[in-house]
């Protein structure tokens, strides 16, 4: 699906997929410009985090999900997809969380406004 933007003065929401593309065992990977985003279903609620592992740049969505946790496919760092917090495994920083919502079955993420 091609990302579709809705912009106002405070935020920018971009459609990245449809609700039926994400379930607890299958996160959705999206790319908007240079930003990689992973969208996860935890008990029916969607969460979005940066999709690049801060340790060595693997795509976290290609890792292993277990409830609210995602394990990096390369060296097994584990993150909480609800908070982006690094929980265990290879030492590295947390990953950023990204606001996500569902509107008429479309998944939208809120991107930070462009830097001036």
Residues lying near ligand FES in the complex (CB under 6 A):
53, 55-56, 58, 72, 74-75, 77, 90
The backbone region for 68, taken as left when phi is positive above 0, alpha when psi lies in -120 to 50, beta otherwise, is: alpha
Query: What is the rounded CA–CA span in Å between residue 34 and residue 18?
Result: 21
**Min CB(44)–ligand FES separation in Å:** 27
Q: For residues 17 and 63, which CB has a smaller minimum distance to ligand FES in the complex?
A: 63
CB of 64 to ligand FES, least distance (A): 12
Instruction: Decide: 32 and 14 in contact? Cβ < 8 Å.
Output: yes
Is 77 or 100 the residue whose CB approaches ligand FES more closely?
77
Closest CB 45 distance from ligand FES, rounded Å: 24
Q: Report the distance separating Cα 114 and Cα 54, nearest Å.
A: 22
Q: Which of residues 55 and 85 has its CB atom nearest to ligand FES in the complex? A: 55
- Please tell me the distance from the alpha carbon of residue 22 to that of residue 81, in angstroms, as a whole number: 14
Q: How far is the CB of 89 from ligand FES (least distance, A)?
A: 6
């Amino acid at each position: 699906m091609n990302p579709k933007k809705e912009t106002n003065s405070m935020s920018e929401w971009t459609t990245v997929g449809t609700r039926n593309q994400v379930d607890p065992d299958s996160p959705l990977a999206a790319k908007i410009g240079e930003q990689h985003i992973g969208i996860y279903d935890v008990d029916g609620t969607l969460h979005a985090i940066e999709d690049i592992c801060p340790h060595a740049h693997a795509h976290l969505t290609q890792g292993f999900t277990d409830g609210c946790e995602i394990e990096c496919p390369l060296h097994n760092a584990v993150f909480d997809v609800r908070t982006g917090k690094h929980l265990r495994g290879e030492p590295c920083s947390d990953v950023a969380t990204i606001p996500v919502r569902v509107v008429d079955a479309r998944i939208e993420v809120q991107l930070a406004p462009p830097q001036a």
